[in-house]
Each structure stands twice: as C-alpha cells, then as structure tokens.
C-alpha cells in the first residue's frame, strides 16, 4: 500500500483515450504499480441530457436514425420477400406467358400503322405550305399593284385554313378512334393493348402539335408583323422550309411532344452513354417484371375476395401492402423511362434539352408535381392547351381545370381501354388532383419547413400510397369481374 | 383569324405562372381573344436531366425521399398491426397475468433486503473511519515526538485495511450470491426475477464504488501528500465527514453508480419537469408492454418450431420480423429509462449531472457506442475497472477485454438468472463486441462520410437487428425447452 501514495491522484486524466496511453512507452512510466486511486470526480459539473430540449444547449444530430430507417426498410422488405417465396415459390416463368395469336398480330399491325397518321399530317402540311406560298406571292403582287384582289386572296386563304384544320382533325381523331376501338374490342392482352394505346396517344399529341405549330408559322408568313417575331432559334429553318420528310422524322423520334422546326442539338453522339442508359432501362424493366409477377399479382389476387365483400379494413391492409410494391415499380419505371430511355433516345437523336423531369420527389405542392414529373406532357399541355385557353380570355383557374379534364380523359383511355373497363377511376383520380392542389396551396402559404414537409407527405400519401394501389386494385377487380379468374394473363400463375 | 395577328407572339412568357397572370385585371388586357399562338420555343437551350450525374451541374436534393421513407415505415408497420390484429385479436389482458404467490412474496422480500448491503457497507466504513481517525492522531503525535511508534501505527493501519477490504468483499458478494440463488431457484416469473437481479447488480456496483472510493479517501487522509490532492469539489465535505447516513442515502438514490462525497447539485426541484418525465416513463412503459404482449410474444411463439427444426431461412425471417418490434421496444425503453426516469430521479435528487447518455445513435464505431449509451455503467467501468487496471500496468487493450468480460458476466447474470438458463448467449454477445470494435476501428480510419455511414450501419445491424432479437429468441427458446409451452407467463395467452 505504501507504494500507492507515490502516484499523483489525477492520473485518470492521463488515461482517457487509449491512443494517448499507448503512445507512452511502458519503460517511461515511473512505477508499474499503484499509480491510480478511485477518488477522481466523474460528476464534476452540471450537464444536461442531450434529448432534454428544455435544458440541452443544442439538439443532437439524428443522422444515425436516417441510416436506421434505410436499414429497416431494406430488412422489412427482404423479410416480405422471404415470406412471399415460402408461400408461393418462384412465380416468374417466361414460357407460361400466354399471348393469343390474334393479339400479337393485331397489336403489331396497329403499332406499325399508328405513325402513318403523322405522315398524313405531313402531306396535309405540304399542301397547306404550297397554298400559303401561293397566297404570299399573290398578296405581294396585289400589294404592288394596289388592287383589291389581295382581300379576296386573304379570304381564300382563310377558307383553306378551315379545310386544313378539318383534314388534320379527321386524321388525328381517326388515329385515336381506330386504335382505341381495336384495342378495346380485339386485343385481349392488357400489356399489348397498353403499348398500342400509349403509342397512339403519343403520336396523336405529336400530330396535334405539328398541325398547330405549323398553322401559326404559316399565319406568321402570310401576315408578317414587326412585333410578332418567330423565335430566333427557328431562323435557321424558316417556314415553309421545315415541311420536309427529314424534319418530320426527326420530330417523330425526338423525345418531345412539342413540335419546333429547330431544336437545340448536341455536337455528337456519346455511344457509351447510350449503352449505359439502355442497360439501365433493360435492367430496370426486368426488375419491374419480376416484382410485378412475384409480388404484385399474388397480392392483387388475394385482395379480390375482400373487395367483393367490401371488407374495408382488409382492403386498407391490402392497399398498404400493395403500396410498397407499386411505389417500387413506379420509381423504377419512372427512372427507366424518363431518365434511362429518354436520355438514350435524346443522345441518339442529338437532342440537347434533356429536362424530361425536375426534382418532383421534393415537391410540397401537388401543382408543382404535375409541372415537374413529366415535362414532355406538361410542355404540350402548357403550349397547346393551357396557354391558348388563357390567351383567349379563359380564367387561369378554369383553364387549369380544363387541362386536368383533358389529361384525365387521356389517362382513362390509356388504362381503361387496354383493360376493357372504362370505369373512369383514372379520370376521377386526375379530377381529385384539383382539390388536392387547392389544399397544398393553402398549406404551402405557411412557408415554414414543417408546412413543406406536410405538403410533401400529402403528395406521397395521395399519389403513391392511396392513388396508385387503389386504382390498380380497382382495374384488376373490374378485369376479374369481367373475365373471371380463369383469365390466363393474371391469375393462373399464382394462387 | 385576322384578329389573331394583333397579338405579339411571345405572350406565353407573360402566361407562365398563374399568380402573375391573375394580378392583371382583365379589363387591362388589350384584346380578350387571339392573343396567343403555338409557335413559342419550349426547347430553347441545352439542358441536362437532374439525375444524370455526368451532365447535371448539381445533384438535386433528395429530402422528399426521406419523407417517403418515414411514411413507408409508418405504413408498413401499421399494416403489420392490422395483420396481427386480424390473426390474433387483442392479446393484451391485465387479469390474465399469472404471478405465483411465492414469486411475489419472495421478490418483495428480496427487493427490500438488497439495499441493506449498502447499509452494511456504511457500518464497515464507519468503523474504518474511526480507526483511520485514531491512526492519524497517533501518527501526528508520533511525528511531533519523533519516535518509532509511527511506523507501527502505519503497519496496524495496513492490517486494518485488509480486514476492511475482506468485510466489504463478503458483504458485496453476499448481495449478488443471495439474490442470484433466490431468483434462479425460487422465483419463477422472469419479470419479477429481472427486477430483483437488476436491483441487486445496481446496489452491488454502488457498494463497490462506495468501498473503493472511501478506501482511497481514507488513504489520502492518513498519508497526505502535496502532489496528491483530493478533487476541489470534495473540499466542502472532507473525509471522514462524508461517512454519514445522509450522505449514503443520497448516493443510494442518486442516478449514478460512482460514489463521490459531493456531487454537483441544482438549486431547486422543478416539479413540473418531474411530472412530465414520469408521465413519459409511464406512457412508454404501457406502450412497451402492449408491444411485447401483442406483437413480440406471438412472434416468439411462432418461431419455436423453426428453431427446433433448425430451419435457417425461417429463423432469419423471424429474426427480421422480430427486429422491428425489439428495436421499437429498445428505443422506447432507452428513452423511458435513461431520459425520462433518470432525469425525473435526478431532478428530485437535485442531481445536476444529467449526462446519462450522449448521441449513441450516430456512432460509427462500436467502441464509441459502449462509451455513450449507458454513461452510469461506463463511468463505473472506467473509474473502478479500466483505469485501475491500466494504472497497475495492464496494457489498455487487455484492460478493455477484461472490462468486456466483466460486463459480459453481469449481462449474463441479468438475463440468464431470471430466465433460469445460463446459456451464456448474453456473455457471448458482449464478447462479440471486441472483434466488432476492431472492425469498426479499421473502417473508421477511412474518415470519409461513407466510412462513417458504413460504421453506423454495422452498429445498427449487429446490435439491434441481429444481436437483440437473436438473443431474445434463444433465451425464449431455452425457456420453452425447459418449461414447455404450458408455462403460464408467455404462451397461454397467444397461439
């Protein structure tokens, strides 16, 4: 014991942290024994618990809980995957897919015939351009002669304008009508049907944009005004030089729904970039297919009895379970289409404006969501529906509602026609956006961080948690009600 | 058509954003019709997709996905709650709890008798203080007389020291031995057993700290040295003035395991604070009870067959499912005990050092976790085990391993004794921390943000995702194997 007293009392301070201790070579220690006593004051000052918001000087970081959340999401879904596997085994099966021969043949014919409407629109525009050139020449001659024939020519041009509009209207409408009718009545497989219908709607929008834009370019040619300038960008290809097959084919394949005679272009194609994007799209496509076959289909099948019995708690439980997988498919599908596929296409087309979406996942207003998740459609709606309506004196709020009605009809066509059930749920979903926009607009006025989080949560809940799984469930139920579970596409593989 | 030409082409720029538009009173608009055409260049410049890391100028914020994660966690667990309810109904039942009369009587006697050992330690210290005071007086007298009796007195004091150490050793050991024996052999209910065992370990640690600290204070009194100062804080109550019943009772109830004659104190008790903390603790206690009765117990019961059959995939699935509920109970229990209960106790005791934990949830090193999640035990280990060992020349790494062995034995006592199965899983879990510390130390050297995230994930996975649920499962399995599912505490209520 006597040796102990040789050591200073506060040695514990020298012992904090192993590293410092280990740096001291042991031979330098004054004595190997009894350097320590148990008196040191651990509780030497007043300190607060870091979670006592009242007392603690600063809130601690909670970044560890973010990591934990990611981990729990991964683990809980991994667990559900194991559970699913133990219950159903492997449901993925390529040879089990059953396509009717008629579906494949009809679908292919439809798919290939749809772009023809774009070429019909080109021929109409070719005629219109000829007529416009003639009109311009005659008007010029009339103006130099200063006689009255100019006015007659303008009238003729006006009549021709109606004729051209009528021709375009017939052509574009035929596209939608023929495709929808064929898909609804003759193509049973909803996948093939959706592909055809989606293609038809895209081409229809492109045709409309092509016709409307060229109409106004033609008008600007016939009635040139100093204050009415055609955009600087188009100067390199003024009307009617843009009415060529080349120009149309570029628009046909360009990743946009809005026609411009000239687009911003990149200098060259980065083929490595194209390869990476295509690999992403293909990989995600396979993942989505596996996810829906293995997880979504059995879930949808299991939900049928609950829906038929209107068992609301069970339906809620099924929707919640479905929401994870539908959200996953949605995010993967979004990335595959808007990031991977459209970027690959844009790169090949040397199309420089790649803003196909902006950061919609952060939106705190449903309004912003609809202007940012799908820019090609948003641009079309803004340029060819909303702005013309407002320009003609329609109040902006009414114009907005009209845009959502138009968009709702297109959504219903896209979902209801291939599933052979026009139950107008997709349309109702689009209509539901209007009160949601009003709600998040009111919340967004708060401008606080919390208001934004609440707005963002309303977006996620309404869209990915309720909207999509509920719609999927209802269309699936309508399908099963119409065709029974004997239908080969969905049910036979699971249960 | 003629009217249209009156409008400038670029009016769409004036239409962007409704707010701006709505500010314009309609009568100011030059013409209500035909102000718009479809020519405006939407694609006017090269732009990148914000997710193309190669091209985009800056990475977009992903804060929306954080919100989505929280939402998905809430929803997926809500769904599991519905599923659980539909499968088992309500399992929570107060009157169903079955305590054997013997358990309650024996448990109460044990619980009340445990603190007696602290008072025995006090009596030992009282005797020791008397002896030390006598020794100091005699040494002083001898020094003034300058004769040789001082040396004899020192020797006598030294013998007394061994006697006192022996008495403390017997007293403290009896506490642990009596409690553990009684709990292991005579208290069947694991809840009552755990309470008694936990109380015994806490009092045992307090007794050890009381004896060791007073020994060194006494030594400092008998052999005073200029370079060996007792901490400034203790000056207000120098040895042996601290050996009073009051001082001991304060230590008995103070939220610390480390004895100090004097602690930092607050000026007054905020009773509203105490009330809030107690309400939190009570609320969380009820929540934990519901969570374990309704969710953990059926899960544990369902896992028994899989463990018996050593079906590893099923065991993994069960552990994953169990991890959510055990993590929830762990976090709620941590908050209830370390934040709510210890803060309430500290407030009542006017104990000012409230640092019962620091932000362990952010740790990227397992080493830091063990120094921050349970500060009272960490302080005890550092002051009375680790530092004395290192002070006596034991290499720090060996001292650390010894601390973990000591802690492992205490953990095994705490879990194994009340469940009547010393299967040494808790001990093995503590031993497993040593390689994990080495691993996270190596990863932590990276010092990058990613290295810290990986370290944090290793912590969460090892501790909350594998360690705890696996240990719970094994002790539950051992319990069931020993007592069969006929045991009333766990199984009868579920299935």
| B412-431 residue pLDDT tens | 999 999 998 888 989 999 99
Is it the case that residue A11 has pLDDT exceeding 50?
no
Domain of residue A175, residue span: 101-253
Only one residue has tokens 């007792």, namely B230
Is it the case that residue A27 has pLDDT exceeding 70?
no
DSSP secondary structure letter of residue A265 = B
Give A104→chain B minimum CA distance, Å: 35
- A375's enclosing H/E stretch is helix A375-381
In the predicted model, what is the mean pLDDT of chain B? 84
Is it the case that residue B454 has pLDDT exceeding 80?
yes
A465/B61 Cβ within 8 A: no
Q: Nearest to residue A200, comparing CAs of A212, A187, A213?
A: A187
Interface test with A, best of B2, B68, B160, B165 (most A CBs within 10 A): B68
The chain A residue lying nearest B84, using CA atoms, is A317
Sorting pLDDT into bands at 50, 70 and 90, what band is A74? Answer: confident
pLDDT at B13: 39
Residue among A67, A391, A465 minimizing CB distance to B456: A67
> Taking the mean position of all CA atoms in its chain, how far away is CA A337?
8
Alpha helices per DSSP H over A40-98:
63-88
Give B340→chain A minimum CA distance, Å: 9
Q: What is the pLDDT of residues B207-220, one digit of tens each?
A: 999 999 999 998 88
Q: What is the pLDDT of residues A193-247, one digit of tens each?
A: 999 999 999 999 999 999 999 999 988 888 877 666 788 888 888 888 999 999 9
Q: What is the mean pLDDT of the segment spanning A349-356?
A: 94
Specify which of A48-57, B27-36, B336-345 reaches the highest per-range mean pLDDT.
Answer: B336-345
Is the separation of the CB atoms in A391 and B11 below 8 Å? yes
Q: Nearest to residue A172, comparing CAs of A131, A130, A211?
A: A211
Whether B277 and B185 share a structural domain: no
Q: Which residues of A are catalytic?
A: 411
Hey, CA dihedral for A269, A272, A273, A274, is it positive or negative? positive
Q: What is the mean pLDDT of the segment spanning A61-66?
A: 87
Respond yes or no on whether ipTM tops 0.85: no
Residue B40 domain-assigned? no
Contacts of A58 (CB under 8 A, 6+ apart): none
Residue B147: burial class (beta carbons within 10 Å; 0-12, 13-18, 19+): exposed
The last residue of a domain, from among B229, B253, B277: B253
Is the separation of the CB atoms in A128 and A164 below 8 Å? yes
DSSP letters of B430-459? Answer: HHHHHHHHHHHHHHHTT-SHHHHHHHHHHH
- Cα angle: B59, vertex B61, B66; to 5 degrees: 135
The last residue of a domain, from among A253, A283, A302: A253
Query: Which segment of A15-29, B130-144, B336-350 scores lowest on mean pLDDT?
Result: A15-29
Q: What is the mean pLDDT of the segment spanning B253-262?
A: 94
Residue A78 domain-assigned? no
Report d(CA B106, CA B101) in Å as an integer: 9
The last residue of a domain, from among B253, B287, B306: B253
Report d(CA B192, CA B205) in Å as an integer: 20
- A175's enclosing H/E stretch is helix A149-186
Q: Which residues of B are catalytic?
A: 411
pLDDT higher at B91 or A172 = A172
Whether B286 and B234 share a structural domain: no
Report d(CA A187, CA A166) in Å as an integer: 30
In the predicted model, what is the mean pLDDT of chain A? 84
Report d(CA A88, CA A288) in Å as an integer: 18
Report d(CA B402, CA B390) in Å as an integer: 11
Whether B307 and B453 share a structural domain: yes
B41/A339 Cβ within 8 A: no
Whether A240 and A282 share a structural domain: no
pLDDT at B345: 95
pLDDT at A464: 80
| 3-class DSSP state of A283 | helix
Is it the case that residue B36 has pLDDT exceeding 80?
no
Whether B333 and B223 share a structural domain: no
B71/A460 Cβ within 8 A: yes
The chain B residue lying nearest A55, using CA atoms, is B354
pLDDT at A230: 81
pLDDT higher at B247 or A300 = B247
Sorting pLDDT into bands at 50, 70 and 90, what band is A146? Answer: low
Is the separation of the CB atoms in B179 and B399 below 8 Å? no
B359/A264 Cβ within 8 A: no
Whether B341 and B309 share a structural domain: yes
Sorting pLDDT into bands at 50, 70 and 90, what band is A445? Answer: confident
Report d(CA B239, CA B72) in Å as an integer: 59
Residue A369: burial class (beta carbons within 10 Å; 0-12, 13-18, 19+): buried
A65/B361 Cβ within 8 A: yes
DSSP secondary structure letter of residue A353 = B
Give A51→chain B minimum CA distance, Å: 7
Report d(CA B107, CA B202) in Å as an integer: 16
Q: What is the CA radius of gyration of chain A?
A: 33
The pTM assigned to this predicted structure is 0.79
- Which chain B residues are within 8 Å of A83, Cβ to Cβ? 317
- Which chain B residues are within 8 Å of A29, Cβ to Cβ? 393
Residue among B49, B355, B363 minimizing CB distance to A354: B49
Residue A488 domain-assigned? no
Rounded to 5 degrees, φ, ψ at B223 are -115, 70
DSSP letters of B233-281? Answer: GGGGS-TTTT-SHHHHHHHHHSS-SS--SS--B-SS--HHHHHHHHHHH
Q: At what angle do helices B396-416 and B425-444 cross, to 10 degrees?
A: 140
A36/B391 Cβ within 8 A: yes
Report d(CA B114, CA B196) in Å as an integer: 8
Is it the case that residue B375 has pLDDT exceeding 50?
yes
Sorting pLDDT into bands at 50, 70 and 90, what band is A44? Answer: confident
Q: What is the CA radius of gyration of chain B?
A: 33
Whether B328 and B463 share a structural domain: yes
pLDDT at B9: 36
Q: What is the pLDDT of residues A233-275, one digit of tens each?
A: 888 888 889 999 999 999 999 999 999 999 999 999 999 999 9
Residue B217 domain-assigned? yes
Q: What is the mean pLDDT of the segment spanning A266-289?
A: 94
Give B400→chain A minimum CA distance, Å: 9
Query: Which segment of B65-79, B140-154, B172-186, B222-236 scores lowest on mean pLDDT?
Result: B140-154
Whether B282 and B409 share a structural domain: yes
Q: What is the mean pLDDT of the segment spanning B299-313?
A: 85
Is the separation of the CB atoms in A173 and A211 below 8 Å? no
Is it the case that residue B109 has pLDDT exceeding 90?
yes
Q: What is the pLDDT of residues A149-190, one digit of tens each?
A: 656 766 777 788 889 999 999 999 999 999 999 999 999 888
- B106's enclosing H/E stretch is helix B101-113
Is it the case that residue B25 has pLDDT exceeding 70?
no
| 3-class DSSP state of B34 | coil
Whether A351 and A452 share a structural domain: yes
Only one residue has tokens 């949601």, namely A436
- Which chain A residues are within 8 Å of B83, Cβ to Cβ? 317
Is it the case that residue B227 has pLDDT exceeding 80?
no
pLDDT at A279: 97
Sorting pLDDT into bands at 50, 70 and 90, what band is B239? Answer: confident
Rounded to 5 degrees, φ, ψ at B47 are -140, 150
The chain A residue lying nearest B398, using CA atoms, is A18
- Which chain B residues are within 8 Å of A64, Cβ to Cβ? 359-363, 456, 460
Residue B220: burial class (beta carbons within 10 Å; 0-12, 13-18, 19+): buried
Residue B78 domain-assigned? no
pLDDT at A28: 37
Is the separation of the CB atoms in B381 and B406 below 8 Å? yes
Whether B293 and B221 share a structural domain: no
- Which chain A residues are within 8 Å of B86, Cβ to Cβ? 313-314, 317
- A50's enclosing H/E stretch is none
Q: What is the mean pLDDT of the segment spanning B466-493?
A: 71
Is it the case that residue B175 has pLDDT exceeding 60?
yes
Give B68→chain A minimum CA distance, Å: 7
Give B404→chain A minimum CA distance, Å: 15
pLDDT at A22: 36
Whether A242 and A284 share a structural domain: no
pLDDT higher at A432 or B469 = A432
Question: Other CB atoms closer than 10 Å to residue A54's CB: what's the count?
Answer: 9
pLDDT at A470: 85
Residue B105 domain-assigned? yes
Number of compact structural domains in chain A: 2
- Which chain A residues are within 8 Å of B66, Cβ to Cβ? 66
Report d(CA A133, CA A127) in Å as an integer: 10
Q: Nearest to residue A430, comparing CAs of A393, A451, A401?
A: A401
Percent of chain A past pLDDT 90, that is, above it, reads: 45
A71/B457 Cβ within 8 A: yes
| 3-class DSSP state of A115 | coil
pLDDT at A156: 74
| 3-class DSSP state of B265 | strand
Is it the case that residue B325 has pLDDT exceeding 60?
yes
Query: Which segment of A316-320, A384-388, B374-378 scores lowest on mean pLDDT?
Result: A316-320
Residue A88 domain-assigned? no
The C-alpha torsion from B11 through B12 and B14 to B20, rounded to 10°, is 140
Residue A155 domain-assigned? yes
Contacts of B358 (CB under 8 A, 6+ apart): A50, A60, B372, B375
Whether A111 and A200 share a structural domain: yes
Is it the case that residue B11 has pLDDT exceeding 70?
no
Only one residue has tokens 């009894």, namely A34
| 3-class DSSP state of A43 | coil
Residue among A22, A69, A335 minimizing CB distance to B70: A69
Interface test with A, best of B30, B387, B403 (most A CBs within 10 A): B387
- Which chain B residues are within 8 Å of A66, Cβ to Cβ? 66
Is it the case that residue A26 has pLDDT exceeding 60?
no
């Amino acid at each position: 014991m006597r040796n102990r007293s040789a050591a200073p009392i506060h040695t514990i301070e020298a012992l904090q942290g192993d590293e410092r201790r280990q740096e001291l070579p042991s031979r330098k220690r004054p004595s190997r024994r009894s350097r320590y006593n148990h008196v040191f004051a651990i509780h030497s000052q007043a300190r607060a618990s870091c979670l006592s918001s009242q007392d603690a000087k600063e809130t601690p970081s909670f970044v560890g809980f973010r990591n934990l959340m990611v981990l729990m999401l991964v683990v809980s879904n991994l667990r559900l995957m194991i559970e699913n596997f133990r219950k159903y085994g492997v449901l993925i099966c390529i040879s089990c897919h059953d396509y009717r021969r008629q579906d494949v043949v009809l679908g292919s014919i439809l798919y290939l015939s749809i772009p023809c409407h774009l070429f019909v629109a080109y021929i109409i525009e070719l005629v219109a351009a000829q007529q416009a050139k003639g009109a311009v020449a005659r008007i010029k001659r009339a103006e130099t002669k200063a006689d009255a024939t100019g006015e007659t020519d303008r009238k003729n041009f006006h009549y021709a304008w109606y004729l051209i509009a009528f021709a375009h209207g017939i052509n574009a409408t035929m596209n939608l009508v023929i495709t929808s009718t064929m898909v609804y009545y003759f193509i049973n497989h909803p996948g093939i049907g959706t592909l055809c219908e989606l293609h038809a709607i895209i081409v229809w929008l492109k045709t409309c944009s092509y016709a409307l834009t060229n109409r106004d370019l033609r008008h600007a040619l016939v009635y040139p005004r100093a204050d009415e300038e055609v955009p600087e960008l188009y100067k390199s290809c003024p009307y009617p030089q843009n009415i060529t097959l080349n120009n149309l084919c570029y628009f046909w394949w360009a990743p946009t729904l809005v026609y411009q005679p000239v687009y911003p272009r990149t200098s060259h194609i980065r083929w490595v970039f194209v390869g990476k994007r295509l690999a992403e799209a293909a990989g995600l496509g396979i993942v989505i297919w596996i996810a829906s076959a293995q997880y979504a289909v059995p879930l949808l099948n299991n939900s049928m009895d609950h829906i038929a019995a209107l068992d609301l708690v069970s339906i809620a439980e099924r929707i919640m379970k479905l929401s994870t997988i539908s959200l996953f498919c949605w995010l993967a599908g979004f990335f595959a289409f808007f990031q991977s596929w459209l970027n690959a296409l844009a790169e090949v087309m040397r199309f420089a404006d790649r803003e196909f979406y902006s950061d919609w996942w952060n939106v705190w207003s449903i309004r912003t969501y609809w202007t940012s998740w799908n820019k090609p459609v948003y641009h079309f709606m803004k340029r060819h529906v909303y702005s013309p309506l407002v320009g003609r004196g329609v109040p902006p709020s009414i114009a907005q509602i009209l845009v959502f009605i138009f968009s709702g009809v297109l959504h219903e066509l896209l979902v209801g026609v291939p599933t052979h059930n026009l139950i107008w749920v997709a349309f109702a979903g689009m209509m539901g956006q209007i009160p949601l926009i009003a709600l998040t607009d009111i919340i967004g006025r708060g401008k606080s961080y919390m208001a934004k989080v609440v707005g963002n949560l309303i977006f996620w809940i309404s869209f990915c948690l309720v909207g999509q799984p509920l719609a999927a469930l209802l269309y699936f139920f309508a399908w099963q009600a119409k065709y029974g579970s004997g239908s080969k596409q969905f049910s036979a593989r699971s249960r």
